[in-house]
Amino acid sequence: MSQFTYEEVEKHNKEGDLWIIVDSKVYDLSKFAGLHPGGPNVLYAANVAGKDATDTFFGLHRHEVLLRPQYARLQIGVIRGQEEIIKAPLPGSLSKVPYAEATWLSDGYYSPYYTDNHRMFQKAVRKFFEEVVRPEALKCEEGGTRISQEVVDRLSDLNIISMRLGPGKHLKGRYLMEGLVKPEEFNYFHELILHTEVARFGTRGFVDGMLNGAVIGLPPIWNYGSPELQSKVVPEVLSGKKYIALAISEAFAGSDVSGIQTTAIRDGGYWVVTGTKKWITNGTFADYFTTACKTEKGLTVILIERGEGVSTKPIKTAYSPTAGTAYVVFNKVRVPVSNTLGEVGKGLSVILSNFNHERWMVTASSVGAQRVIVEECLKWANQRIVFGKPLTSQAVIRSKLGKMITRIEACQNWLELVTHQMNNMSYNEMSNKLAGQIGLLKQFVSRCGRETAEDATQVFGGRALTVTGMGKFVENYHRTSGFDAILAGAEDVLGDLGLKQAMKKMPKDARL
């Protein structure tokens, strides 16, 4: 690679002969100037010709722009005796930006919850996600396509689909993450790592599109399905060969599950199911629907296979269609009675027992996404020059950053505390002791997320409203943070649930 001095570069400062320096690298933009998306004059107006344009460049572009082949090949040399300072992070590496990683991942800090095994696991997951999942997430988020079978197969090879459903008997005998963690040692902190890591790409639709239907739709099968149903459906879904969705909500009934109007009427050995379901995640491509139905004896959950009488169509939402959000119609679908999950009329307990884990998962991915927004804002406020100074020199901006950090740390710490309880409780204990707290936690985290989305939008200005470029993470988060406030139970409803559960446990003799 040729080496130049600043003086040599300075001579190339005119139209047709335009060099610049970015982070000690010398670029010849003579031909590119005419192709610059902002027009050639933008480079002259920025007064960068023949100069070190590092600050100007990073005030306008993300580092990844320099790495794109069409721009990388404009580099003709380096400045003699200097080395680049700004390097692309290696896949799997941790950020050194303060608060960009959870405390347990930050150099020189400690945690009572995580072991060396969690650290190894996190590193391997981040590397795999960055190398394999991120390109897929970006493609699917933008194109609105569902996750490809190729990537599903890679996830299934490492047993990531299974691990996202938490610890349990479904992991027995499985080789997790190429043997990095033994099934009996896998706990909710490993799972927490998976949910936070997948939320790091600024692709909220894809987070749900990466088979969240299985995370919420499959547990009722192994908890309440017949052994025959379990042995058929569970392996199909965990191997990524078939897809499943949880179909509870209807236009008639969301928060109020008891208002469900989809009916299941007995006809010999079959249920005949008629009704509609709304906003069903992964529903556009699901093969199975874990469906809440109204029967003569009350609410009942039934597994319905896609077939005659089942149709789905996409619902357009504020996030990417890659999530597969669907309107589902059941038109006199005949379903074997053996597909009933749990007792007839006891569907509400099947549905409710499933909610804790789902709400905890939504909280975990929200924390993962918020953490990235904190990092984005700290970097941007540090590098953006406004009124001749970095944005961080404005007290109002520092105040916003401080509040974002406070919020993410509060969310993370509470989430880890609840995760620790989950690790030490049986499934029934969790339902009894954690339903209220998880409701409050989810409400708190999703509210924090939306406040952070608002603050981040102010920190990034117009770029926060631009889908590509510098503010793309903030734009996606600002547009989609509301999903965390609705999915798996609306924020206010969950806050109320938390309070009601607490009041149930008030000692009879409690008086001031």
Ligand X SMILES: Cc1cc2nc3c(=O)[nH]c(=O)nc-3n(C[C@H](O)[C@H](O)[C@H](O)COP(=O)(O)OP(=O)(O)OC[C@H]3O[C@@H](n4cnc5c(N)ncnc54)[C@H](O)[C@@H]3O)c2cc1C
Q: Which residues bind ligand X (CB under 6 A)?
A: 245-249, 254-256, 279-281, 317, 325, 483, 486-487, 489-490, 492-493, 496
Q: Smallest distance from the beta carbon of 221 to ligand X, in angstroms?
A: 15
* Smaller CB separation from ligand X, 183 or 217: 217
Distance CA 84, CA 22 (A): 9
* Smaller CB separation from ligand X, 124 or 348: 348
* Smaller CB separation from ligand X, 95 or 317: 317
Distance CA 136, CA 149 (A): 11
Cβ atoms within 10 Å of 45's Cβ, excluding its own: 10
* Smaller CB separation from ligand X, 93 or 255: 255
Distance CA 410, CA 61 (A): 32
Q: Smallest distance from the beta carbon of 494 to ligand X, in angstroms?
A: 9
* Smaller CB separation from ligand X, 247 or 441: 247
**CB pairs under 8 A, 24+ apart, for 179-186?**
180/117, 180/120, 180/121, 180/124, 181/117, 181/121, 185/117
Return the biggest CA–CA distance within the chain: 90
Q: Smallest distance from the beta carbon of 249 to ligand X, in angstroms?
A: 3
Q: Smallest distance from the beta carbon of 487 to ligand X, in angstroms?
A: 5
* Smaller CB separation from ligand X, 105 or 247: 247
* Smaller CB separation from ligand X, 315 or 425: 315
Residue nearest to ligand X (CB): 254
Q: Are the beta carbons of 313 and 325 closer than 8 angstroms?
A: no
Q: Looking at this protein, which amino acid is placed at residue 34?
A: G
Cβ-in-10-Å burial (0-12, 13-18, 19+) of 179 comes to exposed
Q: Smallest distance from the beta carbon of 282 to ligand X, in angstroms?
A: 7
Distance CA 181, CA 191 (A): 12
Q: Smallest distance from the beta carbon of 412 to ligand X, in angstroms?
A: 24
Q: Are the beta carbons of 347 and 247 closer than 8 angstroms?
A: no
Phi, psi (5° rounding) for residue 305? -90, 140
Q: Smallest distance from the beta carbon of 276 to ligand X, in angstroms?
A: 12
Distance CA 33, CA 45 (A): 12
